[in-house]
Amino acid sequence: LLRTESRGAHYREDYPKRDDLNWMKRTNTFWVEGETLPRIEYEELDIMKMEIPPAFRGYGAKGNIIENLLSEKRQAEVDAIREKMEAEGKGRYEIQNALMPYELQAKYKAPNQRIGVDYE
């Protein structure tokens, strides 16, 4: 009940809008030994590090989002990086790494097979 918005499975009739301005947070719930209730903590998310910043995705009611102004700024950055790298002949894996670099074990960095689609 701490999350005063609706987002995916966190739907609330009393807060029907998705609130990207105030609730760009990851919910972490865990049990602490000896406590009778789970502990809930929220981790802030940095829009400026997202590969796909929050925006309307075509589901739910359009206009049912409290926008975060950084979304447009980050989307413009993403578009510019993608356009530049595509012009340089870079592939989707290089572009993804430039947009959202993260440490991952080598076995999880291998290109995925996509059936029926002509990807690299």
Comparison of pLDDT for 65 and 88, the residue scoring more? 88
The residues near 103 (Cβ < 8 Å, ≥ 6 apart) are none
Domains observed in the chain? 18-101 (3.10.20.820)
Antiparallel, parallel or unpaired: β 25-30 and 39-44: antiparallel
pLDDT in tens, 46-78: 999 988 899 887 777 778 889 999 999 999 999
Confidence of residue 114 (pLDDT cuts 50, 70, 90): low
Query: pTM score, two decimals?
Result: 0.72
**Average pLDDT over all residues of the chain:** 86
| Statement: residue 119 has pLDDT above 60 | no
Q: CA quadruple 89, 81, 8, 29: dihedral positive or negative?
A: positive
Confidence of residue 31 (pLDDT cuts 50, 70, 90): very high
